[in-house]
Structure 1
Amino acid sequence: MLDQTAVSQIKATLRKSIENNEVAGASFMVIKDGEEIFYHEDGLADRETGRPVERNTIFRLYSMTKPVTATAVMILLERGEIDLFDPVSQYLPGFKNQHAEANGGLVPVEREMNIHDLLDMTCGLVYGGTNAAGQATEALFREIGERLLGEAPLGTVEAMNKLGEGPLAFQPGTSWAYGTSADVLGAIVEVVSGMRFGEFLQKEIFGPLGMKDTGFWLPEEKRGRLVKTYASEQGGMSLFTGNHLGIIHQMDREPAFESGGAGLVSTIDDAAKFTTMLLNQGSLDGIRILRPRTVQYLTSGTLNDRQQPAFDAWHTMSGHSYGNLMRVVTDTKITGILASPGEYGWDGWLGAYFGNFPQEGLTILLMIQKKDAGTTPLTRKLRNIVMSTL
């Protein structure tokens, strides 16, 4: 259990953040050795109606979807259905004959992008930017967005084949950039499994783990639990309702494009089932999702010496490396937070966050819903309080 001083500090820190209009509301959970030792909720899920954040409030995960996608890939790996050095074009022909940026122009790739490149984001795919790769990616997401609610929306595999036709920011394997690789991985899972990505996740992960409120959309009876999203503005917060990265914000229909990089919604309890499964070496309550050796590989990936400098430019990720769609702590002396060697996790665009700490048998989960959030100062403050008690 956390001592009373730490509990009071956590509650006061979260309350101050709400009063300062940094977040509208939040859920925060700490799990130790598989047992919940702390849970707290505060603030509003809907400021307009006064609906509070509750334990079963549903949050958009955005990039906290990525570790789920990496887990799906590992399921295929340990069954012998894929090889991480398979070229992406083996599954998605749009990735054949790619070109990469070099010296202001485009040149043929020196080798094909493979699944391993996608998992480590060393493939040359990006989310946006002024370069050719970024502009092509933004154009694709505009097309996905324009067709999102129409009669002919782009599906997962179709969209990713189109992505493959655009240029890469660099030669596969030579650097690192945060980008769309998890979306491509979702499409590969779809091709290999012969079922829609969401069906695969439900059959292989969500169903077995009892994650009953996790998926790519919400039936009508659950939509009243979906949290509203807010954006910071001078002196306050404003409601945000826009679709982003091909995600239908209202989550009110089954999407054609199931984004392995950003598409899931979940509750804090569902997320805890997934993170506890990983920390428990692949099983939860007698249900095995992955074998222990596979989990160890999944959660310990790092970049090589050629790739790491590009990741080091992300200054709040000092002391970390990256692998299998997650951050991994490599040097606690320079992290800028109280950290643990080998801890891993990820966050999302709207602020969903998890960290697993294998040495301590600890999980920290935070759910907020704020535009452009990622890992916020509030996130770091709360985890520092917890880590200081260990």
Structure 2
Amino acid sequence: MKYQKNIINQILLASFFVSSLALAQNIPSAKPEDVGMSSARLKNVKASLQAEVDKGNIPGAVVMINRKGKLVYSEVVGYQDKATNKPMSKDAIFRIYSMTKPLASVAAMMLVEEGKMQLADPISKFMPEFANMQVSQATKDSSGNVEYSLVPAAKPITVQDLLRHTSGIGYPEITSNPNIKKAYTEAGLYVAGGTDYDQRRVTPQDMIAGIAKAPLNSQPGTNWEYGMSVDLLGRVVEIVSGKRLGDFLQERLFNPLQMKDTAFSVPADKQGRIAEALPVDPFTKNPNKLLDVTIKPNNDSGGAGAVGTTGDYLNFASMMLNGGELNGQRILSPMTVNLMASDMLGNRTTVPLAPGQLLMGVDGYTFGLGFMVRQGQGLASVDGSPGEYMWAGAAGTFFWIDPKEQLAVVVMSQVPGPIRPYYRRMIKQLVSSAVVK
């Protein structure tokens, strides 16, 4: 009788393990050892994050891992809202900021696959405002003072330039060119002292007009510079599809992949699930200012405006890992996925920061179409495989997809400060060390 009771308890425990993972998303679950990962080593992920919670450095986090098509790890630590001591939950809704960019990039590639536009198309084909752009060039006079002059763009900005951030369009929060920052401020795309990366303030047409009036930071197609390119790509998707970006994504991506909580704002009945950052950054001592995702934006920001859960995003990452398909829902062809995860920069410059330096403070990465891509085994000071691709968000979210190791990892936390690259390196190393065969 005692033996039977123990067997029943073990079955119930195993059933709970499987069901608790399955609740996260529609990916079949398995024990880590079944797919070449170590349960003992994976414990270091939660332990390390919990230590950061205990120190007061981060409020909380959710981590989910897909290895070889199986969900093998799904854990929470800390608080969804430390101010109210509300514990973190797997269905917490996060501001994903720039992890919106891969979603908008996939939307654009769907339209490319359908022949409705091409990567080589000039964006002026869809937005005539960009037909005659100028570039603001910096030079130094004999005294070393920086002067700016305008020169015509040598070539048109293409759809491909928007996807790989070689358009010459920067971020007002990042650019060092005062003339460009002034133009973006006058267009309402930037408010000094306001919430950063909130391009949702303006209407789609006002965004197009405002960016088009501003000079470019570099000649189109010559330099990788992180900026509002994918926000503008979202406008292209809207013009070509005839639908608002959020509606297009809902119909073509979110619904097929059962990304039930991914959107460009959080409805009233879900607002209790929003994961909140600490009021003050523990490292910089500056207040944390994040997007107000409880209000509907004036435009769906393809560069930074979406929200979602860890499970939702793992569905997206798993679709990409699986060559563009998940659970019978074909989103992209394998050839398109491979193209997006290829080096699109070649010998182009990466001023002021290369993709790897910007995201994780490491070398060894280039950029594809919507994703940062690892070039080789060496150079980078983190584990990974050649061909892996990834991106992250300004409020603390991060994901990577490693086709060689058949691995997709999504980490969501509420850590908007400059410590983010440290945590991205940390979690990447911890997960990589748990891959044992």
What amino acid does structure 2 have at the position aligned with 1:133?
A: I
Inter-CA distance 337–139: structure 2 relative to 1 (3 Å threshold): farther
Q: Classify the secondary structure of the residue corresponding to 1:38.
A: strand
Inter-CA distance 121–238: structure 2 relative to 1 (3 Å threshold): closer
| Counterpart residue number, 1:161 | 209
| Counterpart residue number, 2:297 | 255
| Counterpart residue number, 1:5 | 40
Q: Classify the secondary structure of the residue corresponding to 1:332.
A: coil
Query: Does the 8 Å contact 1:351/1:376 carry over to 2?
Result: no
- Structure 1 Cα separation of the partners of residues 239 and 123 of structure 2: 11
- Structure 2 Cα separation of the partners of residues 186 and 235 of structure 1: 34
Q: TM-score, normalised by structure 2?
A: 0.82
What amino acid does structure 2 have at the position aligned with 1:98?
A: M
Query: Does the 8 Å contact 1:93/1:161 carry over to 2?
Result: no
Q: TM-score, normalised by structure 1?
A: 0.91
| Counterpart residue number, 2:144 | none
- Structure 1 Cα separation of the partners of residues 192 and 108 of structure 2: 24
Alignment partner of 1:86 out of 121, 125, 145: 121
Deviation per CA, 1:222-266: give whole Å up to 9, x if none.
0110111236545797763x45xxxxx232232121100000000
Q: Does 1:271 align with 2:299?
A: no
Give 1:218 deviation, angstroms. Answer: 1.3
Give 1:381 deviation, angstroms. Answer: 1.5
- Structure 2 Cα separation of the partners of residues 346 and 5 of structure 1: 27
Q: Does 1:362 align with 2:362?
A: no
Q: Classify the secondary structure of the residue corresponding to 1:74.
A: helix
Written as runs of structure 1 = structure 2, the 5 A alignment for 1:40-59 is 40-59=75-94
Query: Does the 8 Å contact 1:17/1:378 carry over to 2?
Result: no
Give 1:135 deviation, angstroms. Answer: 3.4
Alignment partner of 1:119 out of 163, 166, 169: 163
Q: Does 1:136 align with 2:171?
A: no
Give 1:169 deviation, angstroms. Answer: 0.4
- Structure 1 Cα separation of the partners of residues 193 and 233 of structure 2: 20
Q: Does 1:69 align with 2:116?
A: no
What amino acid does structure 1 have at the position aligned with 2:399?
A: F
What amino acid does structure 2 have at the position aligned with 1:118?
A: L
Query: Does the 8 Å contact 1:231/1:370 carry over to 2?
Result: no
Inter-CA distance 38–116: structure 2 relative to 1 (3 Å threshold): same
Instruction: Give the gaps of 5 or more residues in structure 1.
Output: 147-151, 244-248
Written as runs of structure 1 = structure 2, the 5 A alignment for 1:189-338 is 189-230=237-278, 233=281, 240=288, 242=289, 249-308=291-350, 311-312=353-354, 315=357, 316-338=361-383
Inter-CA distance 287–301: structure 2 relative to 1 (3 Å threshold): same
Alignment partner of 1:97 out of 132, 135, 154: 132
| Counterpart residue number, 2:426 | 381
- Structure 2 Cα separation of the partners of residues 389 and 253 of structure 1: 41
Which region of structure 1 is more displaced relative to structure 2, 95-104 or 163-172?
95-104
Written as runs of structure 1 = structure 2, the 5 A alignment for 1:22-41 is 22-41=57-76
Q: Classify the secondary structure of the residue corresponding to 1:200.
A: helix
What amino acid does structure 2 have at the position aligned with 1:329?
A: R
Q: Tell me how large the CA RMSD over aligned residues is.
A: 2.3
Query: Does the 8 Å contact 2:183/2:210 carry over to 1?
Result: no
Query: Does the 8 Å contact 1:220/1:252 carry over to 2?
Result: yes
Query: Does the 8 Å contact 2:184/2:210 carry over to 1?
Result: no
Instruction: Give the gaps of 5 or more residues in structure 2.
Output: 1-31, 140-147, 195-199
Query: Does the 8 Å contact 2:367/2:373 carry over to 1?
Result: yes
Give 1:48 deviation, angstroms. Answer: 1.5
Inter-CA distance 235–383: structure 2 relative to 1 (3 Å threshold): closer
Query: Does the 8 Å contact 1:25/1:45 carry over to 2?
Result: yes
- Structure 1 Cα separation of the partners of residues 280 and 105 of structure 2: 31
Deviation per CA, 1:18-57: give whole Å up to 9, x if none.
1222211000111101211111101011111111110100
What amino acid does structure 1 have at the position aligned with 2:307?
A: V
Deviation per CA, 1:133-171: give whole Å up to 9, x if none.
24323443237999xxxxx96212331232111100011
- Structure 1 Cα separation of the partners of residues 311 and 426 of structure 2: 22
Query: Does the 8 Å contact 1:9/1:385 carry over to 2?
Result: yes
- Structure 2 Cα separation of the partners of residues 218 and 144 of structure 1: 26
What amino acid does structure 2 have at the position aligned with 1:87?
A: P
Query: Does the 8 Å contact 1:144/1:153 carry over to 2?
Result: no
Inter-CA distance 75–145: structure 2 relative to 1 (3 Å threshold): farther
Query: Does the 8 Å contact 1:21/1:237 carry over to 2?
Result: no
Q: Classify the secondary structure of the residue corresponding to 1:281.
A: coil
Inter-CA distance 144–208: structure 2 relative to 1 (3 Å threshold): farther
* Higher Rg: 2
- Structure 2 Cα separation of the partners of residues 383 and 153 of structure 1: 34
- Structure 1 Cα separation of the partners of residues 368 and 132 of structure 2: 26
